[in-house]
Structure 1
Amino acid sequence: MDFLQIAKRRYACRQYLDRKVEPEKLEAILEAGRIAPTGANRQPQRLIVVQSAEGMERLARCTRDFKAPCAIIVCADTDEVWTRKYDGKKIGDIDASIVTDHMMMAAASLGLDSLWICMFKPEAVREEFALPPHVEPVNILLIGYGAGEPASPERHAETRKPLSATVFHESYGKE
């Protein structure tokens, strides 16, 4: 399967089977996150893998978990992120997003489904998972085997704007 096929296959899965993610698949997903590019190669990502029943119960106090068997809390160590000198923008959220995307696509390539969650209580995550002050929770990636009918890979023709609506050449507003 080429990259675009994998990208089209991936969907926001909100219903999971009661089936564990195999350790070798989880390891491959984490490796995809490890090799993801980060600003100045600072690698500020800190990943908390949650799989135990007790851990998933703690996660459910922070966000909706959709009964997924596995979650990766993607954080950024703010002491290690690269900062853009022109405006002081710390790019930990960008780095964490790149890492998450790599892991999400790796999961899809392995026949797993996922859901990228940004709707969570940051302070609850911080407390439930003992995050130090310099580690910021950025998003949560749920991973597992989807239950029910997956979204059609052909849905993008109807659900996505055409390139002409989002791509400009040479200057904003020029097609």
Structure 2
Amino acid sequence: MDFLQLAKSRYSCRSYKNVPVEKEKLEKILEAGRVAPSACNLQPFYFVVVTDEELKEKVAATYGGKWLKEAPVIVVACGDHSRSWKRSDGKDHCDIDVAIAVDHMTLAAAELGLGTCWICAFNAAKCREVLNLPAHIEPVVLLPIGYPADKGNPDRHGLQRKSLDAIVCWNGFKGA
């Protein structure tokens, strides 16, 4: 499958089969995150892999969606703001670097036939406590990974995406 087909086939999976994810596949997904680019190559990200059922319940409780604990794996993507690059105006690129790594991981998972879903609407303070994270490490994304129990919506890109003309400006901003 070429890259554009892969990107179009990836969707937010919220229903998982009760099938473990092979360690080799999980390591490929994590490797995709590891090699993701980051500002000044500072790599201010960490990936906490949660497979233990009791710990998974606690992490899932920071979100509230009952479907999350169905996933055999939850990766908690974290950022270290003390190590991330800051632009001259003070903008911290930690969250951007974590997002690039997570995007690499979601696409790697899709290529391997696995489903994922970005979750950012969770209680980060509680998640930090559950995982015993130090104060300078922020949980940014919960990323469930598993074999999809649904098929997703193959037409979602054509139906729910803006056209290129609506989002692309050539040689200067002309939108909004």
TM-score normalised per structure 1: 0.95
Match of 2:80 among 72, 77, 81: 77
SS of residue matched to 1:169 = coil
The one-letter code matched in structure 1 to 2:159 is: E
Q: Does 1:91 align with 2:93?
A: yes
Cα deviation digits, residues 65-114 of structure 1 (max 9, x gap): 151111110111111101101x1111100000000000000000101011
How far apart are the structure 2 equivalents of 1:50 and 1:72?
6
Q: Where does the alignment leave 5 or more consecutive residues of structure 2 unmatched? A: none
Runs of 4+ in 1 over 6 A off after TM superposition: none
Q: How far apart, in 2, do the equivalents of 1:45 and 1:155 lie?
A: 30
The match for 1:13 is: 13
Identical residues among aligned pairs (%): 47
* CA 24–126 in structure 1, closer or farther in 2 if over 3 Å, else same: same
Q: Is the 8 A contact 1:16 1:66 kept in 2?
A: no
Q: Equivalent of 1:134, from 133, 136, 155? A: 136
Q: Which amino acid aligns with 1:55?
A: L
Q: Which residue of 1 aligns with 2:169?
A: 168
SS at match of 2:117: strand
3-state SS, counterpart of residue 14 of structure 1: coil
Contact 1:76–1:93 (Cα < 8 Å) also in 2: yes
**Do 2:78 and 2:138's aligned partners in 1 also have CA atoms closer than 8 Å?**
yes
How many residue pairs align between the two structures?
172
- Name the CA shift for 1:66/1:149 in 2 (closer, same or farther; >3 Å): farther
Q: Tell me what 2:44 maps to.
A: 44
**What SS is found at the alignment partner of 2:135?**
coil
Do the aligned residues in 1 keep the contact of 2:80 with 2:138 (CA within 8 Å)?
yes
AA at the equivalent of 1:97:
A
Give the corresponding residue for 2:54: 54
Q: Which residue of 1 aligns with 2:152?
A: 150
The offset of 1:170, in angstroms, is: 1.0
The alpha-carbon distance between structure 1 residues 54 and 66, as it changes in their structure 2 partners (threshold 3 A), is closer
RMSD of equivalent CA atoms? 1.0
Which deviations, in whole Å up to 9, do the C-alpha atoms of 1:104-136 show, x marking residues without a partner?
000001010110101100111010001101101
Extract unaligned runs of 5+ from structure 1.
none
Output the amino acid matched with 1:147.
Answer: A
